[in-house]
Structure 1
Amino acid sequence: MSETKPANEALCLAALRDHDRDRYLAALLTPADRRAGVAALYAYNAELARVRELVREPLPGEVRLQYWRDLLQGAGHGANEANPVAAELLQATRTYQLPVGPLAAMADARIFDLYDDPMETVVMFEGYAGETAATLIQLTSLVLDPAAAASAADTAGHAGVAQAVAGCLLLLPIHRARGQVYLPLEILRAVGLEGPDLLKGADKARLSAAIEAFAGLGLDHLEKARRSGTPSRSILPAYLPATLARRVLLSARSRGAAILDHDIRPPQWRRQLRMMATLVSGRI
């Protein structure tokens, strides 16, 4: 067991390095005695986020998501030792007494990713972000310092929505290629567009207005996160990935429809410096 646990932690970190570089860097900046739990949560999130990439049809994707729900609810199929992410996630839930409900809800929320139904409203998007990015921040905070996490729920919620908006803006080219519309129809319709118009990408002026409004939603939540209070330094590492959202949101707001075909993610060295600066300053 003493050899298996470090090996699973290393495998979780390796998976993050390949599939979620920002959270991989954030995990490395987490205190060593909590890193295994944080890496397990981040690797679990990466597994959920990748399901759409790994399947051709929704049904196999739902089966993959059901595997994680069964695992968390104690109805796993066979031994979990062969899956390092599963083994480490279960260990983290036991060690840090993490609530199973929000972890399972993360898998439930990802069912949306498997289909091409559009995101209808801003409230619907905020709910999706709350069950994915915001929940991940809160659970990571519980690993780091349960007492401090309890007093920062509002901050985690708003930071998670801001991070989710930034993530969807970064993934717009990929989502368009798949026929997915995460930018709420409520925002598109406010500028005279529908989901297919986003996928076609022809009306640049109106698309720029919609993207500006969506980025503005993310910036509004980021400001609310900051106004709700600075998280304790003990849980600050949980917010490191979310601190990268501001630059993306500002870039999307200024560039508009140009982001449909161009990557606006800052280079890795800038993202790493931003996270390190957050740890030094103590402010998200």
Structure 2
Amino acid sequence: MSAEQANSNDSVSDEGYCAGLLREHDRDRWLACLFAPQQHRRGLIALYAFNSEIERVRDMVSEPLPGEVRLQWWRDLLEGQARGNASGHPVAAELSAAIERYHLPVPALTTLIDAHTHDLYDDLLPSVTDLEGYCGETSSSLFRLASLVLADGGDAGAADLAGHAGVAYGVARLMGHAARHAARGQIFVPADIVIKHGSAREDLLNGRDTPDLRAMLAEFASLALGHLERAEKLLPVTPAVVVPAYVGLALVRPLLRRMTRRGFNIFRDRAEQAQWLRQWHLWRFARR
């Protein structure tokens, strides 16, 4: 086998690894990639697989320090200071190729890593503004980077859309994982909302479904819904080529509606809808 053939096979293997990782750990984004033009799916999968690697660091470590080390490895890699070669890590190899092809801004990727450092600790974000900043540097940044991929490195559309979409999608995902986060002592509802709802913090940490907890989550959902509505108003004036980056927004309203309906218990009931129904929402958005 020639060196060129070997490199080609390795490349396909890296792509398959990233797709498998995404399908297992972030299936909704993997499905969203299927609604993007085929020539850009590989770049999107590389970007989302990188994001999945960063988001899962907290789940893979028992103490913050090992998590900090993992995140630092990614920073060093992006800044060209990592020991060894990106080709030894399938996600790193695919991400490096996507950065080169689409001229993705490295500072946006390192900022995303920095923001997820918060995930390693159990500190409350002080305010809604801080939460919006966190979502802006994580989910919003990911929407913006995905738009760059779809635009083939060109005009990614209005930053306002990515900003509002990121907060809506980010908060909805945090709500969906609230019970799992609380089980490890972590709450993403900002302190200025928490303190308005009596025992809601202790109820969440101790697995108690109470009126205070439901009121707190309803306010959290209202924050996401407000940003979703602003994002939806901006979509019609967004360059059509980047709209597939926002397919995931189709899942936000159903999740918020489901989690705030009467009788829903976040400790007992599944937050996400059935897989086929989520796929239908994505398909309907893509057709529109």
The answer to whether the Cα contact below 8 Å between 2:164 and 2:227 also exists between their aligned partners in 1 is yes
Corresponding residue SS for 1:180: coil
Q: Given the alignment of the two structures, is residue 184 of structure 1 paired with residue 190 of structure 2, yes or no?
A: yes
Structure 2: any 5+ residue segments left out of the alignment?
Answer: 1-6
3-state SS in 2 of match to 1:179: coil
Indicate the residue corresponding to 1:279 in structure 2: 286
Kindly state the Cα deviation for residue 279 of structure 1 after the two structures are TM-superposed: 1.3
Check the 8 A contact 2:17/2:90 in 1, yes or no: yes
| Structure 1 Cα separation of the partners of residues 224 and 259 of structure 2 | 11
Task: Give the CA deviation at 1:147.
Answer: 4.1
The TM-score with structure 1 as length reference comes to 0.94
Partners of 1:67 and 1:255 lie apart in 2 by 45
In the TM superposition, what is the alpha-carbon distance from 1:119 to its structure 2 partner?
2.2
| Partner residue of 1:224 out of 206, 226, 230 | 230
In structure 2, relative to structure 1, the CA distance for the partners of 1:8 and 1:255 (3 Å cut) is farther
Correspondence list, 1:65-84, <5 A: 65-84=71-90
What do the CA deviations read for 1:196-229 (whole angstroms, capped 9, x no partner)?
3431244711111111100000000000111234
TM-score by length of 2: 0.92
Within 5 A, what are the aligned runs for 1:1-284?
A: 1-145=7-151, 146-149=153-156, 151-193=157-199, 195-202=201-208, 204-230=210-236, 231-255=238-262, 258-281=265-288
DSSP 3-state at the match of 1:240: helix
Looking at structure 1, the residues matched to 38 and 12 of structure 2 have their Cα atoms a distance apart, in angstroms, of 12
| Distance (whole Å) between structure 2 residues aligned to residue 168 and residue 113 of structure 1 | 11
Q: 1:14 offset after TM fit, Å?
A: 0.7
Worse-matched range after superposition: 58-67 or 189-198: 189-198
Deviation larger for 195-204 or 49-58 = 195-204
Letter paired with 2:119:
D
Aligned mates of 2:49, 2:281 — CA distance in 1: 22
Give the letter for the 1:121 counterpart. S
CA RMSD of aligned residues (A): 1.6
- Output the CA distance in 1 between the equivalents of 2:8 and 2:208: 57
Give the C-alpha shift of residue 241 in structure 1.
1.8
Deviation at 1:4, TM superposition (A): 2.6
Change (3 A) 1:269 1:194: closer
Q: Distance in 1 between matches of 2:274 and 2:158?
A: 30
Per-residue deviation, residues 35-69 of structure 1 (Å, max 9, x unmatched): 11101100000000110111011000000000111
Aligned residue type for 1:70? D
Q: Is the 8 A contact 2:197 2:215 kept in 1?
A: yes
Q: In 2, distance between residues paired with 1:14 and 1:201?
A: 33
The question of whether the paired residues in 1 share the 8 Å contact of 2:197 and 2:212 is answered with yes
